[in-house]
Structure 1
Amino acid sequence: MLHKTTKMAAVAMAGVLALGQPLQAQEEVKLRFAHPLSSTHYAWVEGLGRMADAVVKASDGRVSYEVYPAGQLGKDYVSVLNSKLADIVVLIPSYASDKMPLTTVAELPVKYEDACDATRKLWEIARPGGVLSEAEYKPQGMRALFVTILPGYKVPTTTKPVRSLADLQGLKIRASGAAMEQTVRALGAVPIQLTASEINDSLRRGTIDGAIWPYHAAPPYELESLFKYGAEGPNLGSATIVFAMAESKWQSLPENIRQEITAAAAEAQENLCRWTEGEEARVRQDMIDKYGYQPAVLSDEEIALWNEKTATVAEGWAARMNDNRKPGTEILEAFRQAE
């Protein structure tokens, strides 16, 4: 009887000790990541992958992850998230403007200092509780973990130098998404909608004369040797990437893992924007040294002329959003005023 009582006491004490341990310290979490990029793309290596590895390390291995790159789970990443095929995805708003129309505010020709300044401005409105999050992400069951805006666009071309607005007239220029299309059109060029993976072949075939494109994104698509000339200086907007998690998954996580993800995401956001800025300068010089690329930095007068032409693009975007019963003006002003 004494033995039985002692055994029961030991079991009870073990239960008390187990209850005394935080639940999150015992729980293991596996996260599924999905994105449309290659496994070596900088947005994964310097951004989301960096965040994932940091979370695994911070959690002492309680968190693990699987990755499904290159569209393996489908191309509609909002649906991939909502269907629970993946927990965290990479969203490119210009490719999903039907589901993320307000996020394309960051692609407009709005003035900012550099990629990190622009990224911080977008995060201010895209973070949980921000005006963009409340209007666009929350209703779709998504939570932005971090964002990035890439270095500002230039206009690299293949056969014709562009040193003035007059040189650009009638050229077929690659665009992606409504904001970029309107910018190209406002400058007097002909926008051709293409995905990033289609640019290389289109340049070789002469289907397009150039692109609205940043230098750092040339190597992943082997474009460095194809661009021969370029125009720099005007505010032409940029591309945006949102790294998002299903809100339902977020709510299911222990608090300490949420904190680890939040901290790792903030570091990844800052790292990615710094990396792209550095890579922008490096690739530009590489294109000059190795391939004879000839960039033209436009004069102040010419830049003012270009900016004047694109000034109506942002207001036109807001008006179209308003017409579709979306808070376009509110989002645009919030982005402009964000710090």
Structure 2
Amino acid sequence: MPRRVGGSLPPRPGTRPRRDHPIIRYEEDNRMKMPNLLKRAALAAALSTAATLGAAEETVTLKLADQFPLTHVGSRVGSQALIQALEERSEGRITIRHFPAEQLAKASGLLDAVRNRVTDIALVGVVYNTDKLPLTSAAELPGLFENSVEASKAFEKYITTDLLEREYLPLGVRPLWGTVTPPYQLMLAEGDGIAEMSELGGMKLRVAGATGELIAKSMGAVPVKVPASDLYLALQRGTVNGAIYNPPSVFGYKIEEVLSAVSDNASLGAVAFALLVNEDVWQSLSEEDRAVIQSVAADVRLSFTQAFETANQKAFDKLAGAGVTVFSLPPETQAAINENLGAVRDIWVEQVGARGLPAREMLDAYQARLAE
């Protein structure tokens, strides 16, 4: 007979086992417990998967495109600052894939890029899109402001309120912020400056858009449209004799290397920028994400304009240090230029109004914003 060690013997072959036998009872208990254990394991796995999927769904990755090289002040205090602030304030929930320096589209194509979902967000220069944003271009007219920080506040209200449904939503985009640069200056490839406006007669000056064309013509110059990214070569090759441009931006493209002189007291209009998001993308975001983006955009817009204003003051010293002559227009020359520039606004109203648009009404609305 087998030796019994610490338990019951197994049933003999050919006999019917007793249901209360310890070994039989152990096997039956295990068979009953296994389905419950499997169910619990499956439930735990499902909950873990759901949590993982939920976290993934909460994460948003957006593409942002602009025209600026990473060394440009517009990139450093604009796009790069926006990206960092968004990721920090959303605690990593919102991330941005950045495409600087016209990687996704040329400066003139960034508006279409955000309309067509090539990018989700773009920092768009209005000057390159006056055909699609004609009423917005009022912000680039000369003689409307002196301080770009205050002017940017007015411009943002103008495009996010007065022009939102009239000019932006019909294009499928929504403005998140608006800024204007400090007043543009006269830049020359040769010489030490000008003493009289007549010296500009027939001179080929680089301009960025339609408003710049009006400004150049009002001084007797010949406007030539050239993107900022091509200005270095245009000056170097003599395609243009000079430019209407803002001082802080020259360093991002190393334009100071091909300049001879820059004015410091002209007021030759400005360039406006709008941070635009595709409207379908915007509506797909949660209310929480939209609130974070709007809050960050407001803060970065303010620091962007303040940095540009500060950079404008420092740029003249930096230009002088690079061997460029910084000159002031004589009072009588400045007065003559400003008198001619006064007609530019009337011409703008006439040209934009000829397209069946309320040009005078919207220029008055923008000036009212500036006066607030």
TM-score range (shorter-chain normalised) is: 0.7 to 0.9
5 Å-filtered alignment, 1:255-270, equals: 255-270=287-302
1:272 maps to what in 2? 304
Q: Does 1:282 align with 2:341?
A: no
2:73–2:248 contact (8 Å) kept in structure 1? no
SS in 1 for 2:322: helix
Q: Which runs of 5+ in 2 are unaligned?
A: 1-31, 47-53
Distance 1:28 1:183, change over 3 A: same
1:134 maps to what in 2? 165
When the two chains are superposed, the root-mean-square deviation of aligned CA atoms in Å is: 2.9
1:24–1:255 contact (8 Å) kept in structure 2? no
5 Å-filtered alignment, 1:84-95, equals: 84-95=117-128
Q: Tell me the amino acid that sits aligned with residue 195 of structure 1.
A: P
Distance 1:50 1:294, change over 3 A: closer
Deviation for aligned residue 1:34: 1.9
Q: Does 1:52 align with 2:80?
A: no
5 Å-filtered alignment, 1:1-339, equals: 27-75=58-106, 76-127=109-160, 130-160=161-191, 161-299=193-331, 301-338=332-369, 339=372
Distance 1:24 1:242, change over 3 A: farther
Distance in 2, Cα, partners of 1:99 & 1:24: 39
Deviation for aligned residue 1:188: 0.9
Q: Tell me the amino acid that sits aligned with residue 262 of structure 2.
A: G
Deviation per residue, 1:35-64 (Å, 9 max, x gap): 233233322221122112211111111111
Relative contact order (alpha carbons < 8 A, sep ≥ 6): 1 or 2 greater?
A: 1
Distance in 2, Cα, partners of 1:102 & 1:3: 73
Deviation for aligned residue 1:2: 12
Q: Tell me the amino acid that sits aligned with residue 252 of structure 1.
A: S
Distance in 2, Cα, partners of 1:234 & 1:68: 34
SS in 2 for 1:314: helix
Which 4+ residue blocks in structure 1 deviate beyond 4 angstroms? Answer: 1-5, 23-26
Deviation per residue, 1:167-213 (Å, 9 max, x gap): 22222211121100011001111112211122211222222221111
2:23 maps to what in 1? none
Distance in 2, Cα, partners of 1:200 & 1:253: 41
SS in 2 for 1:212: strand
Q: Tell me the amino acid that sits aligned with residue 115 of structure 1.
A: S
SS in 2 for 1:122: helix
Distance 1:290 1:235, change over 3 A: closer
Distance in 1, Cα, partners of 2:348 & 2:314: 33
Distance in 2, Cα, partners of 1:26 & 1:231: 53
SS in 1 for 2:187: strand
Deviation for aligned residue 1:117: 1.8
Q: Which runs of 5+ in 1 are unaligned?
A: 16-22
Deviates more, 1:257-266 or 1:90-99: 90-99
* TM-score, with structure 1 as normaliser: 0.88
1:48–1:243 contact (8 Å) kept in structure 2? no
2:215–2:268 contact (8 Å) kept in structure 1? yes
SS in 2 for 1:211: strand
Deviation for aligned residue 1:136: 1.0
Q: Tell me the amino acid that sits aligned with residue 337 of structure 1.
A: A
* TM-score, with structure 2 as normaliser: 0.81
Deviation for aligned residue 1:275: 0.9
Distance in 1, Cα, partners of 2:313 & 2:199: 25
2:60–2:95 contact (8 Å) kept in structure 1? yes
Deviation for aligned residue 1:82: 2.5
1:145–1:265 contact (8 Å) kept in structure 2? yes
